[in-house]
Amino acid sequence: MSQVAVVGGRAAWRGKLGTEVQPAGARLDVRRALQLALAAIWLLDGVLQYQAFMYSKGFSQMLAGTAAGNPGVVAHPISWDATLVEHHLVLLNTIFATIQVLLGLGIAFRPTVRVALAASIAWALGVWWFGEGLGGVLNGAASPLNGAPGAVIIYALLAVLLWPADRPGASAPFTAARAVGAPVARALWLVLWLSLAYFALTPANRASQGLNGMIAGMESGQPGWLAAIERGAASLVAGQGLAASIALAVALVVIAVGVYLPPSAAKATLVLAIVVALVIWVVGEAFGMILAGGATDPNSGPLLVLLALCYWPVRASAAPAVSPSAEGKAL
């Protein structure tokens, strides 16, 4: 029940009405909000894994297809896994889907967030190999537009950066630095975005019709409005593979070094990162093919947006809303 306190002849309501001013420590921690966003994506992955398509031979064939072009040491385990899934499709796919749902719920539930984040790293590494063929980084097919270096590896990176712990010493300049420190966080960002710039310039991407063919291939099965977007984007880069790849690579390099710039300039490059990620998600990934059916995840676009938000500069005086120990104890 609420209480009434009389101060200076006026009544001031206090209690559990929810309208009172909350102290800074009671507000939602930015890192916790980002963890919840990551949890929501894991839950979406689990729901997508329950689709009817995943209980058909198409799923095992999709897994087998990721072995193509990879070295034997990578390809043979993928082929073995695809065969195993084909023979025990209903059981294994149900297990896969349930694991991803549990990961999402575990990250969303504070007492289990550490266990769930650790488990998500292990699961992501396994899926990166057996489900994505290492994101195509070894077979020449990797491109920023198709989710390279593998969307699921970004899940693992986010789990590391959003780990509920704070390094002692100076306050972190952005959320991703709280657990691993600013130098390590910046280095991880640099490696990821520079790798995307490198993939943008590989022969398959800078070929005259490379990007055109990649984008045009996303049109199949899409609703009319999205298919029209894909056709328009494909025609825009028709015969311009080299120029488009160079322009994309330059933008990705600018994004990569942006976290080393002063906060105002860093914010500008992070906005660029979000815009590029959204363009990749819409044009290159067609929303992860979710609307066409048969998608196992939304692909890398939303994850890159979430990653950029992890690096958004924060005020030095901003204290974490929840202490690291409390993050693992209370809902």
pLDDT tens profile 59-76: 999 999 999 999 999 999
Is the pLDDT at 10 greater than 60? The verdict is: no
Is the pLDDT at 308 greater than 90? The verdict is: yes
- 81 belongs to a structural domain: yes
Name beta bridge partners: 14. 3
Read off the pLDDT of each residue in 309-320 and give the average, rounded to a whole number: 75
- 187 belongs to a structural domain: yes
- Segments forming the whole domain that contains residue 189: 30-314
Is the pLDDT at 138 greater than 60? The verdict is: yes
- 224 belongs to a structural domain: yes
Return the pLDDT at 293. 84
State residue 249 phi and psi, 5-degree precision.
-65, -40
**For residues 195 and 192, what is the distance between their CA atoms, to the nearest angstrom?**
5
Share of the chain above pLDDT 70, in %: 86
Read off the pLDDT of each residue in 244-249 and give the average, rounded to a whole number: 96
Question: Looking at per-residue confidence, does 220 or 80 come out higher?
Answer: 80
Is the pLDDT at 244 greater than 70? The verdict is: yes
Question: What is the number of other CB atoms lying within 10 angstroms of the CB of residue 322?
Answer: 19
- 38 belongs to a structural domain: yes
- 152 belongs to a structural domain: yes
pLDDT of 250-268, one tens digit each?
999 999 999 999 999 999 9
pLDDT of 180-215, one tens digit each?
999 999 999 999 999 999 999 999 899 999 899 999
Return the pLDDT at 22. 42
Band of pLDDT at residue 51, cut at 50, 70 and 90: very high
In whole numbers, what is the pLDDT of the chain averaged over residues? 88
pLDDT of 90-134, one tens digit each?
999 999 999 999 999 999 999 999 999 999 999 999 999 999 999
Torsion of the alpha carbons at 311, 128, 58 and 67, rounded to the nearest 10: 130
- 17 belongs to a structural domain: no
- 23 belongs to a structural domain: no
Return the pLDDT at 24. 43
Return the pLDDT at 167. 85
Band of pLDDT at residue 315, cut at 50, 70 and 90: confident
- 221 belongs to a structural domain: yes
Domain count, the chain: 1
